[in-house]
Structure 1
């Protein structure tokens, strides 16, 4: 009994108290018949009990059939379609009305919020990574044959448009500006040094001196005699001369490999001077153009492009199935370079939006229009969601959904029935006494 008493709500306890008071008032009236206090007490207790029972019946009839009474009871379950429709209308017209949507959007600063989100490093990295995936998926969706044909045509056209003189000039400028010319010359000197220091070079130098000696004394008997005399008396030693020349060549190679040395600078200056003269020579011009045309016509650009794209697509498709990034796995340098390029364009786009007032205004209007249209479309979608959710509820779930939201007020309605009933009973009894 104590457990049941804890489960009762305040309205049930009030109704039970009204019944107990009624029993007490009835016993008092029967014990003291004709007593006006006992009659008034019974009159008030009876009115309080009737008011409490009436309000209990009325509140219960909203959700169930009290005591099995079938007429105009269980109103909420019977009026489910009307209730659902009213809820949908309320959500669409009140909570998501056009006026409220646009009113809240006007208070929300869309563009500053979006720019602040886009400037976050995590957002920047995620979006650039996603753009690389979009490029991969875009490549996989394209026709491979059409791609290779178009790319090959562009490459062949680019090669045909290249002027050899311009290419050589650009290459020379790049070598000078980047400092690669000094590095290349130093590496060439380092590669030549072991060859210069070899015995073969020493033998070649001695043979060269011998040929020079023969050339100078050929047809001159007196000269031949003096040469033989010099060799016999060791005044002229060809082996020693070859050693001196070899050591001199090694010293020149070391100086040539030294960064910023006078010899290195002089050799580079002479190289660029002669390259400029050669680049302006008509015979060289004709030769380079013939070579370019020959290479362009014989290069299998279409085949190479088709094979490269096919292998690339196969790698992309296989790695996509394994949920990995093919560029990052197979071509890390290309992936990092592409990421740097995309991040640079990403930063420039944000800076352009921040500095260009007209562009910022256009982007703001675009965002406002997109979100407003989306929310207006969501108005109908929310109505459909509310309708489906409420329609799937059982009668008991629907009753609990409504009752739990207004339970304190319903309990007070029931308690007020007993309280107001007792007050009205007292007033009516006093009026009866007055008129009697």
Structure 2
């Protein structure tokens, strides 16, 4: 049973009680009758007042139907109140500026699970973007950028910077050790002897051709093809061994020569011209877009790469959060930035929100507006009727008692 029905039943009970106790005698009868009478009057008065808010009770039009007659003024007052108070930028920001947005954000991240929540929001977005990369457009953009900058000697600069590291002492030492191992491996290979034999034999034959003395010397020192090859291999092995010895003349001389060459390399016009030509030719003829697209497709279709990149992204996110938590300057900047954005948002949105509210209110007809108000406050208003009857009844009984004893005291 709703409150309106309850209030009506209470009023009916009071009216019935008043009528039934009309001819009651004695003190008890009088107090009961006056109680019911006052309760009936209070209930009727409150029913009239509450009904007058929404309509004309008993057809009386004087000072009644308050909501229908003042609908537009009430709506205008509501809009004015919302615009000047609730949506007022100064009023809103007056409270917001008292809070430290950075501290609130840190509490959310560290104590309320915000860090993991943000990761869960970002991860599917990241995966979706990664797996739906338009490889054609991206490859074309990369090719366009490379070819557009093709005349800026990118390849030349990279090669020069790479080669310049050869002049570093540690790098040079490692290279000489690698060179020594490579030479020894080549010299021990049987295929090397097969390469040397015809060359050495031809050189020896040309040397002794037409000279008996040279033939005698070759025979005297037993300079057969095999011995000559062994002598050459031993000489090369010794040279390679000296090149990896920090204190040898060969090591120092080659290092000094290499440094001189590298220092003059950037100014060597012939070298620069060769690199520029190679670079321009390579960029012009290369199918950069096709190669890039193929690589992108292969990379994005591999789930392991997605997992790997997600791990990198999560580590980068955690690192950024940890840095923010420990950086007071960044926190102050963030706090100021958030408040500026909020102020701008409120200032920009207030007229828009207010217009929405105005349009919404103006769309209500008089009946629907009354129904809307009544649906929200009807229960409380009906309690006024019930309380009015109860309070009126108690007041009537009290007045009867006072009147009853006053008459007997002064008569």
Q: Distance in 1 between matches of 2:403 and 2:125?
A: 81
Secondary structure, aligned partner of 1:376 = helix
Would you say 1:398 and 2:393 are equivalent positions? no
Could you tell me whether the CA contact under 8 Å between 1:149 and 1:302 is conserved in 2? Answer: no
Query: TM-score scaled by structure 1?
Result: 0.60
**1:62 lines up with 2:53 in the alignment:** yes
The 5 A counterparts of 1:33-432 are: 35=26, 38-39=29-30, 41-63=32-54, 69-72=58-61, 75-76=66-67, 79-110=70-101, 113=104, 152-159=147-154, 168=160, 170-175=161-166, 196-211=187-202, 213-214=204-205, 217-221=208-212, 224-225=215-216, 227=218, 238-239=225-226, 242=229, 262=245, 271-279=254-262, 285-295=268-278, 298=281, 300-301=283-284, 354-355=328-329, 367-387=338-358, 388=360, 391=364, 395-404=370-379, 408=383, 411-424=386-399
CA contact (8 A) 2:30 2:400 kept: no
CA separation of 1:293 and 1:248: change in aligned 2, threshold 3 A: closer
Q: Distance in 1 between matches of 2:170 and 2:91?
A: 66
CA distance in 2, matches of 1:383, 1:178: 74
Structure 2 residue ranges without an equivalent (≥5)? none
Determine the C-alpha separation between the residues in 1 that align with 2:215 and 2:357: 119
215-224 vs 53-62, which moves further: 215-224
Aligned to 1:18: 14
Contact 2:18 2:40 in 1 (8 A): yes
Q: What secondary structure sits across from 1:108 in the alignment?
A: coil
Q: Which moves more between the two structures, 17-26 or 146-155?
A: 146-155
Relative to structure 1, is the Cα distance of residues 378 and 412 closer, same or farther in structure 2, using a 3 angstrom cutoff? farther
Q: Is the 8 A contact 2:153 2:279 kept in 1?
A: no
CA distance in 1, matches of 2:346, 2:275: 61
Q: Secondary structure at the match of 1:26?
A: coil
Q: 1:81 to 1:104 in 2, by over 3 A?
A: same
Confirm or deny: 8 A CA contact 1:59 1:414 kept in the other structure: no
CA contact (8 A) 1:92 1:382 kept: no
Aligned residues: 399
- What is the CA-CA distance between 1:40 and the residue it aligns to? 5.4
Question: Whole-Å Cα distance in 2 between the matches of residues 371 and 109 of structure 1?
Answer: 13
Could you say if the C-alpha distance between residues 178 and 366 of structure 1 is closer, same or farther in structure 2, counting changes exceeding 3 Å?
A: farther
- Does the C-alpha gap of structure 1 residues 401 and 186 become closer, same or farther in structure 2, counting only changes over 3 Å? farther
In structure 2, relative to structure 1, the CA distance for the partners of 1:75 and 1:24 (3 Å cut) is same
1:63–1:74 Cα contact (<8 Å) kept: yes
Q: TM-score, normalised by structure 2?
A: 0.63
Change (3 A) 1:398 1:200: same
User: 1:108 Cα shift?
Assistant: 1.8
Superposed CA RMSD in Å reads: 6.3
Runs of at least 5 residues in structure 1 that lack an aligned partner in the other structure: 317-324
Matches of 1:180 and 1:112 in 2, distance apart? 50
